[in-house]
């Protein structure tokens, strides 16, 4: 059995290397448009399942692992910012507030899918305009959901985390390990 990570994320690749010495990476090119009737909390489950199913089409006897992370502030999902002004708006929204981060995972093995999600809460210190501008100058916010990287310079904004740190990065490895063990034991 081969293990395949259905993600091009370098952070997920690094985290999965804590569970497996050898695995391959195959990015799932899917349409990430969500159905109108899906709740925000279910978005990462929906997207991770779509990614896993896409890659598993050609790897039925392999273990395919897919994940998707969303940042939810109030009643909106904060995706990857399109430009600097959108990143700034997101950071201003997160400043001094608590938001929810949900990572959904899907394991696909021998035509069976197992999905789960891990929810965490992240609280930011209040940020000054100067702090936000300096962070934007690093370029780090541009390819991150919610416009920050908790494992990077964005860590300087975090007052508190309630939940799984690795899930906030993008792959809840301790829960993932247990789900994989359960799935393979049933085989």
Q: Which residue among 31, 68, 137, 182 is the active-site one? A: 68
Beta carbons of 40 and 47 less than 8 angstroms apart:
no
Q: Which helix (H) or strand (E) holds 90?
A: helix 84-94
| The pair of three-digit structure tokens given for residue 118, joined into one six-digit string | 């891990």
44-90 confidence digits (pLDDT tens):
999 999 999 999 999 989 999 999 999 999 999 998 999 999 999 99
Domain 3-186: which CATH class?
Answer: alpha beta
136-169 confidence digits (pLDDT tens):
999 999 989 999 999 999 999 999 999 999 999 9
pLDDT at 131 over 90: yes
Total-model pTM: 0.93
pLDDT band at 187 (very low <50, low <70, confident <90, very high): low
Listed by start position, the domains of the chain span 3-186
Residue 68 is among the residues annotated as catalytic for this protein: yes
pLDDT at 113 over 70: yes
């Amino acid at each position: 059995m081969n293990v395949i990570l259905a993600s091009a994320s370098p952070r997920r690749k690094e985290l999965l290397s804590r569970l497996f010495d050898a695995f391959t990476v195959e990015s799932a090119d899917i349409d990430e448009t969500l159905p109108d009737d899906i709740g925000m909390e279910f978005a990462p489950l929906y997207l991770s399942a779509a990614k896993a199913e896409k890659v598993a089409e050609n790897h039925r006897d392999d273990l395919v692992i897919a994940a998707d992370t969303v940042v939810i502030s109030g009643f909106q999902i904060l995706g990857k910012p399109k430009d600097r002004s959108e990143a700034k708006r997101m950071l201003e929204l997160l400043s001094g507030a608590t938001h929810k981060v949900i990572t959904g995972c899907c394991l696909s093995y021998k035509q069976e899918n197992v999905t789960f999600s891990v929810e965490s809460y992240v609280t930011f210190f209040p940020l000054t305009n100067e702090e936000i501008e300096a962070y934007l100058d690093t370029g780090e916010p541009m390819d991150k959901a919610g416009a920050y990287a908790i494992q990077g310079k964005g860590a300087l904004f975090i007052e508190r985390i309630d939940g799984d740190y690795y899930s906030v990065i993008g792959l809840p490895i301790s829960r993932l390990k247990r789900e994989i063990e359960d799935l393979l034991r049933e085989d």
